[in-house]
Amino acid sequence: MTAARYRLLDLVIDVPRQRVTREGVPLDVQGLSFRLLACLLRHGVDVVDFDALMAEVWAPAVVNEETVTQRVKLLRQSLGDDGRSPRYIRSVRGRGYQLCEMPVVEADDVPRASVSRRWIAATAVAVVLVVAAVAWRLAPGPAAKPSATQELVQRASYYASIGQRDNNERAIALYQQALSASPADREARIGLSRAYSARVCLYNFPYPWAQQAQTLAEAAVAAEPSSAPAWSALGYARDCLGDIDAAIEAYEKALTLAPGDDATRASAAYLYQERGRIDEALHANLDMHGDPSRIRFRDVQIAREMALLGFDEEAGKRLARSFQLYPDNVFSNIAWPRHLFLHGRLVEAQQALDEAMARNTPHVELYVLQGELALLRDDRDAALAAFVHAQQLRPQMGLPGTLVGLYGPNAPDASWFATRIGAIHDEAAHHTLYPVEWLELAMLLQAQGQRDAALDAVQTAVSKGYSDSAYLQVSPLLKPLSHEPKFAAAIAAINQRVAEQRQRVLAAAWCPPELRQAPR
């Protein structure tokens, strides 16, 4: 069964809009939960076994039956269903799941005068058919067997899509083999660029890998300037090198060429957030053209943007859920303990951080947070140990080395300060820094006794887009500056900018209903 809209008892499910309502009230059914519901609707009241669910909802990701069971549980919670006395979804022991009632296909309610919308829908179907035809031609078979290079690239792309360090390394090895056989292969060049960038951004490899990624992406752009994937790969490399405005420029070029590229849209959204354009970031993350659940870190980004805009309750619910459901997602593991930390829930933050650390998804931000929590407990030794771990994990990154120097047993000498401060100024002369790098400069200057210069650095961070006023007020790393009028002015500037953006979000047609109902 395929349709645009279904009725299941008192539920109305609008598939193109990925929207579920009960008596006109939207329910929180998104991402994988919506895809699971849509899959069950397609099968009517037939039992859908675990293998079919994994293939239709999760592929190409590899999951197990427990993952399916947990997602069904979440979907039931969103629908208000009870697994012990189900109304909508029934468990079939040892087999899978089925709908309790046959869904009814509802008539298309789009007015016939809406020719443009119908044309767009028809075009989308045509695109799907074209993609299917291309996939059929590339699939192994007697009619059109792919070349050896194509097979290598296809397999590499599969491993890269999983999002784990070991699989990223498998992807790199396969892309390298493909390029050895066909040095000009565009897909292999772009894929290897992205995998090298992932080494730096996700898996703590040294920065020269991102430089190699940029070189590969630049070659791909030069060979085919109209290639959206090449521009997107260039944006990713620049992003991993810390060149934030150049990364945004490349991502936006990719989106101009391919407006439906949701992964690039999410990457650009992250950088909009970093530059203080939080309302634009939220809009971009909500304005997905395809299946939003395929954007791995989107939910965490949306929750972070909501938190920055002051929608704390909704953000907290989303982050707690992500932390529970995705124990292998490093950004979920960072975001929830950090959220608790920023809200002064320090005991809970430490507990969540301990759990995140036990999940074996190491990241610099986890260790820095561990050090900050230790400083708030006046445990300087534990803080230093955490900062040392962060430095060991990514020695090329500036902040961990700065913290090790500032909180080490021996006070740094003048030459150490000069080197680190000079390095930041040199970077700023060559490209736009992430705003948080100006906060690192403020830490160095305050430790050196240059209080006014440190406060100027904080204000520069804010002017460049830094938007986390809660962090400025909670973190012990900037505490010596916290009673200064200039520091209070920086926080006030953030709050005013965020309040204006919050009002724009609430006034926008795309604003999620749960935000309109959020307490002020």
* Per-residue pLDDT reduced to its tens digit, 32-54: 888 899 889 888 888 888 888 88
Confidence of residue 165 (pLDDT cuts 50, 70, 90): confident
Distance CA 289, CA 264 (A): 11
Evaluate if residue 295 carries a pLDDT over 90: no
* Residue 63 or residue 493, greater confidence: 493
Which helix (H) or strand (E) segment holds residue 99: the answer is strand 96-99
Judge whether residue 200 has pLDDT over 80. yes
The residue behind tokens 């403020």 is 442
Q: Report yes or no: 60 and 32 within 8 Å, Cβ to Cβ.
A: no
> What confidence tens digit (pLDDT) does each residue in 494-517 have?
999 999 999 999 999 999 998 987
Mean pLDDT of 45-69: 83
How high is the pLDDT of residue 107? 53
* pLDDT band for position 201 (cuts 50, 70, 90): confident
3-state secondary structure of 22: strand
Q: Which of 91-100, 103-112, 119-128, 347-356 has the lowest mean pLDDT?
A: 119-128
- The Cα 58–Cα 68 span in angstroms is 9
Quote the pLDDT of residue 67: 84
pLDDT value of residue 111: 37
For position 81, what pLDDT does the model report?
85
Tens-place pLDDT, residues 411-426: 899 999 999 999 899 8
Helices (H) and strands (E) in the chain, counts: 25, 8
**Distances 387 to 148, 349, 367 between C-alpha atoms, Å:** 47, 18, 6
* Residue 463 pLDDT grade (very low, low, confident, very high; cuts 50, 70, 90): very high
> Shortest CA distance to 263 belongs to which of 358, 174, 337, 198?
198
3-6 long-range contacts, Cβ below 8 Å, gap at least 24?
Answer: 3/41, 3/105, 3/106, 4/108, 5/105, 5/106, 5/108, 5/109, 6/41, 6/103, 6/104, 6/105, 6/106
Predicted pLDDT at 310: 94
pLDDT score recorded for residue 121? 32
- Cβ atoms of 188 and 182 within 8 Å: the answer is yes
DSSP-derived pairing of the beta strands 11-14 and 5-8:
antiparallel
Taking the chain, what is the end-to-end CA distance rounded to the nearest angstrom? 44
CATH number of 5-105: 1.10.10.10
What is the arithmetic mean of pLDDT over 193-203? 90
Look at residue 482 and give its three-state secondary structure. coil
Hey, what are 84's tokens? Answer: 């012990």
Query: Mean pLDDT over all residues of the chain?
Result: 86
Q: Stretch 262-268: mean pLDDT, rounded?
A: 91
Structure tokens at 280: 């634009």
Beta bridge partners of 26: 21
In 3D space, the residue among 291, 251, 289, 294 whose CA is nearest the CA of residue 270 turns out to be 251
Measured distance CA(56)–CA(77) in Å, rounded: 21
C-beta separation of 50 from 94 below 8 A:
no
CATH of domain 148-259: 1.25.40.10
**Most confident among 66-80, 131-145, 176-190 (mean pLDDT):** 176-190
pLDDT band at 427 (very low <50, low <70, confident <90, very high): confident
The reported pLDDT for the residue numbered 431 is 76
Look at residue 101 and give its three-state secondary structure.
Answer: coil
Helix (H) / strand (E) element for 90: namely strand 89-92
Residues 299-353 pLDDT 10s: 899 999 999 999 999 999 999 999 998 887 888 999 999 999 999 999 999 999 9
How do beta strands 11-14 and 25-26 pair? Answer: unpaired
Picking from 216, 215, 217, 196, the residue whose alpha carbon sits closest to that of residue 207 is 196
Cα 12 to Cα 29, 72, 405: the distances in Å are 12, 18, 59
Angstrom CA distances, 497 to 91, 252, 353, 504, stand at 49, 24, 31, 11
Q: What's the confidence (pLDDT) of residue 63?
A: 76
